[in-house]
Structure 1
């Protein structure tokens, strides 16, 4: 197993995507620190990994604070003797459109996703550097952070910020031999279950059936296990030369996202004044403006929610 002797922390790993990541890391030989805010859920996750033949321990704490980050690293070192891998997956949602989003809605999401990733990565990197360990930091992003999504100002800001931090860490951690990458999962979750567009895919997954090919192949939408292999790969020695990257995984699809690059460039001697822009912006850039949000293909008729409802009636 490629991760034998390694120790990993996976935040937000009591259930869902985080648990899938933790189970795959354990299957590849790593001991895992499970993290969740619910003691019962965290305990069940540990028992699941142990039933699979792996080793795990739980830390019940909400990520965000420096204290929680220290607790996670200390648990890895105390229980398993070292730390090699950090996967920052913990997150919450407080979806509302801009005018309805409260300060608390914004701060809660930023604290868990963005600050939680920052504090845990800082603590893990400190340990890696002090102990001469070429560790792995894998931060979980989202298509929303790449493209935007209606009603998710807080979540989009956090996930875009995570990718920005990863690019910076790749520069800062290179000399220490530590890698930092972001993963963009596209998978069935509690959130996607509520979206009619994905209903047939999520229902198939819940029944233990294969998702329709349209979702897996054309959309790159799959199960949590479809993302777990990428997590384990980036945590391995085989990925030592991969850092600062944003990699998407879902269904049958694997994607390497570009860093933001200029879509078009024009020069004008003396610079661009107001009137220059009035006269020239449209002709120069009007057909090059970038789209926002996810653009989904039309659902085949047999996969539309209305078709499923008609069959029930």
Structure 2
């Protein structure tokens, strides 16, 4: 484009599109009518392929919010601090062609924007679902849907810190299904799983909302009880023992439906000064061992 055509401002028309001025690189040179801003020329291949121009426009807009243009005069700059309108010094025919190219580019840029938005929504939903699944696996037991061992330990440590500042009593209760190995050996692991799930569901039903229960591993369960009443744990433990005095699950053996009784042994202890989870677990385990030695469906408390 020669100097004469650059100075021929009578052919200027404004393309109705605005973009960020700071995103462009160009040369400023003086003319008789002011200063001319020369911007990047649109490559000829883009003029023939609007979809290519649109894709480039979309990518560029992600970073500098602009599209490549030819020339504009300073008097066509709008008063807005960040925006201005595109102007060219082409003849009317070329300007109309340029207008059509820009319109096509904007259409494809808009299309790519919509596509990216959909992909972002899809990806966000997928990642959120994946995060929830991973969180679920890391916090909950797959069979019983109770908290797992690690999550329970985290909760219990927080409860220890709370009772240090209050007058509440904190109890740790550990439970074990009696003769669980013979159940697996006699009826199979599926029946063993049913026994574990039935025990978990029953315990959840017997506990209060403020109590925390987890599957501690295998056929063992663990409970955290916090209460102002120092007899709260004994009340709950007795309630559990009474329920499991007659807890049955249906099983099939030799093509006949039979009932299998589930019994529990329980050991529990209360928080004392300077206790941590490990020391309380050791006492509760010792109490559980005493219950196992004493017989089925028995509870033992160690202070």
Shorter chain as denominator, the TM-score bin is under 0.3
Larger Rg: 2
TM-score, normalization: structure 2? 0.22
TM-score, normalization: structure 1? 0.22
